[in-house]
Each structure stands twice: as C-alpha cells, then as structure tokens.
Amino acid sequence: MTPENTVLLVGATAKVLQAAKAHGLSVILVQHKNKFTPEQAELADATLIADYTDWAAVRPHAEAAYERWGFATALSLTDPALDVTARINDLFGLPGTSYAICRLLQDKFLMRQRLADAGAASAIGARLLVDKQSLLEFGAEFGYPFVAKPTDAAASLGVFRVDTPSDVDRVWRELEALRGSGSGLGCGGFFTVTDVIMEEYVDGPEFSVESFSFGGRHVVVSVTEKATGTGHFAELGHTVPARIDRFRENRIVGATREFLDAVGLTDGPSHTEIKFGSRGPVVIESHNRIGGDRIGDLVEAVYGVDLTHYAVGWPFGLVDELRDRPKAVGGAAVRFVEATEGTVVSIDGLDELRTRSEVITADALVSVGDEVHAVRDNNDRLALVAATGPTGDAAVKLCEELIENTLRIQVVPK
C-alpha cells in the first residue's frame, strides 16, 4: 500500500469496498463488530474492528493505521460513522468534509441555527426541548401542529407531531422513554438519543435531492419523490424521477444549492430532504452521504450515475466532474411493506421476484420468528421491492403489483 493510493473506509459495505477496489485503491477498513462480514475482510487490504460511533475508540486505530500504512483520506457513507470520519481527516489535515460541517448536517438544531443566521428561505422556527413546559411554550409561540424529534438520529426514529396542547403529555412521556433508553431503538444502538428539537411543522409532499458537489459546484443528479403513510413519519416508498412539474423541480433544486452553500459542503455526495407546500421548498434535513432505502440504485437505473463510484473516486481525482444534470431514461421506484402486530411465520416469493428483469432488488427486512408491530419509523418495515419501468408511474404500479401478487409475508397476530 502507498499512502497516496490508500483510503480509510469507515463502516463501509461490500459495495463501497468493491468501488474502491475497482478504482485501484488500497483499502483500510474500520468496521463495527456488529456490521462485519467475511466478504468485507476479503476485499479490504487491512481490517480494524472498532465502535465507529465512539471517537475515543476509533482514534487510536486511525493513528496506528496512519503511522503504519498512511492514507490520503478517510471516507464514510453511513450516518453513524460520518462524525468520526470527519474527525480523522481533521486530525491529519486530509481533504474531506470537516467535523464542523459534518456536525451542522448531523445536528438538526445546529442546522436550523445556521439557516436562520444565513437568512435562508428554509429557515423555520426551532427550539431545543428543555422540559414539558417548553412544548407548551413552543406551541404558543409558533402554533400547532409542530414537530418534536431527536437532534441526531435517523430512519424517522422518535419523530412526533404535536397537533394540540392535549398531545403534550403523551409526546413528553414518549420522548422521555426514548431518551431514557440510551440509544436509538431499532437502529442497532448506533444512535444515542439525547437532545430533542422542536420545530415548526411544514406542510406539503416530501422529496429528496441526490446531489454531488465538485469543489463547491453542486450538481443535482435526481429529485426523488417520497411516499409516506398516515399516523407516522416512516418512509414507504421512493420514485425516480419525482413526478412534479418543472417549476416546482427548479425551486427544489435552487433550495438545495442554497442550503449546501449555507452549510459549507463543497465536495462529495449529499442527500437533502425537502418539503414543498405553502411556504415553497423547505429543507427538513440533509446528510453528507448517499440516500438510503435503495435510492442510489434507483438513481443509477434511471440516470446511469453510480454515486458510490463517484464518492470513492472523487477525492483521488479518479472520476470526471458531472458538467450538467443527467437526463432521465425511464423511471424506477421502491415500495416497502408495512408491518402489523404479530410474529412473522413465513416469507415467500423473493426468489421469484429476483428473476424478473425489471426488478432491481427484492429483500426481506425481517426474518421468520421476528416479533413485529405497526409502523412507527423506518425500522418497522417488513420488506421492499424496487423495480424499473418506462415511466415513474409504471415503476410504482409494478412494485405495488409484485408486492400484492408475488411477495407473501405471513404475520400471525399475538
């Protein structure tokens, strides 16, 4: 391994490791013991096991790796490892998103403060939760409904809508229980729920924007349409490209670029979630990584852009800049199966689905014997089917038909 041709990957999946090797890079992998697989060790040139949510645990491994082998940059595409990856690059003066910028994206309250200071159009009222009374005070100041959620979590974990003052007692109890648990339930313990932000509710449908930044020039690759259910904030599907008119799409693209400039992100992928309602486009949150829920696969199917390939290659100058937004060819969608209360007793149809040329992927997110319950967040979904079609409408219809007619998951009530 030579330092200038070596990357330190933190929490990388096999796909990210494969992308690095395809670029001809040497790889030092820092992996959490709960996420390690033998395939990762075979792909990496060196593997170190550490809790990548804990800087104190990762730092000595990073220092030892830098002293022994050297590396040109550290990179991660998974939420829980983004902070420590930024710290590694700061520690050794390497290129990559700094810890200060990473925290603006990870901490939703810091993000809201930055947008307010910048006078951005996406600025909305926000406060940190102190006690139950502060919920009532926020409602009195900004009106109902409003949202209370952890400042630093993922997968729609612990997001509550407060519709009236009568909801305050219930929401306070649930937030206290979540904070008392010490870690993100359903997230493998990778998120610690501590601070909670209260923010104004933003109406309208939600979209995500998959972008890649090249030295401060932000190229929007895809505007993705999000599908949600009722009574919760879990995501139940995504469609590429979003089925919206050109005016709204241009407003969303502009809001994304304004946001990325405001937080100072200059290089690499970003996944920005935006609602478009009576206020126009408002940023809900953003991340310096590729979108989850197989969004990257949908984008590649429709636009021919492999965001993982770009994310790994760009720091080493191994990919060319995207000069303009790519053109969509067809459509793609993913749809998720909601859980109901009970025990999973059988899962059938996945092999049949995977033989179909239109199917990008079909996966169960639970196993036989698992206890499941009604959807509260993204961790409560049973399965997914992602497929392509000549249009987004066709892709959505196919996903729904395949889930209805081919995928069979039996849940026996308790």
pLDDT at residue 414, as a whole number: 76
Would you identify the CATH topology of the domain 331-414? Answer: D-amino Acid Aminotransferase; Chain A, domain 1 (3.30.470)
Is residue 343 within 8 Å of residue 315, measured between CB atoms?
no
329-371 pLDDT, tens per residue? Answer: 999 999 999 888 899 999 999 999 999 999 999 999 999 999 9
Answering whether pTM is above 0.75, one says: yes
- Does residue 189 register a pLDDT over 70? no
pLDDT at residue 376, as a whole number: 78
201-255 pLDDT, tens per residue? Answer: 999 999 999 999 999 999 999 999 999 877 677 889 999 999 999 999 999 999 9
CATH of 202-329, one of 1.25.50.10, 3.40.50.300, 3.30.470.20, 3.80.10.10: 3.30.470.20
Of 76, 69, 84, which Cα lies nearest the Cα of 26? 69
For the chain, the domains span 3-96, 125-200, 202-329, 331-414
59-90 pLDDT, tens per residue? Answer: 999 999 999 999 999 999 999 999 999 999 99
Q: Measure the CA–CA gap between 52 and 191, rounded to whole angstroms.
A: 11
- Does residue 39 register a pLDDT over 80? yes
CATH of 3-96, one of 3.40.50.140, 3.40.50.720, 3.40.50.20, 3.40.50.150: 3.40.50.20
Higher pLDDT, 233 or 147: 147
* CA distance readout (Å), 310 to 107, 287, 403: 26, 16, 32
CA dihedral for 269, 273, 279, 281, sign (positive or negative): positive
- Does residue 43 register a pLDDT over 90? yes
128-144 pLDDT, tens per residue? Answer: 999 999 999 999 999 99
Structural class in CATH, domain 125-200: alpha beta
Cβ contacts of 405 within 8 Å, gap of 6 or more: none
Q: Measure the CA–CA gap between 127 and 283, rounded to whole angstroms.
A: 16
108-127 pLDDT, tens per residue? Answer: 999 999 999 988 888 899 99
Check if 3-96 and 125-200 are the same fold.
Answer: no
Task: Check residue 172 and give left, alpha or beta (phi > 0: left; psi -120 to 50: alpha).
Answer: alpha
Instruction: Quote the crossing angle between the two packed helices 132-142 and 168-180, to the nearest 10°.
Output: 130
- Does residue 35 register a pLDDT over 50? yes
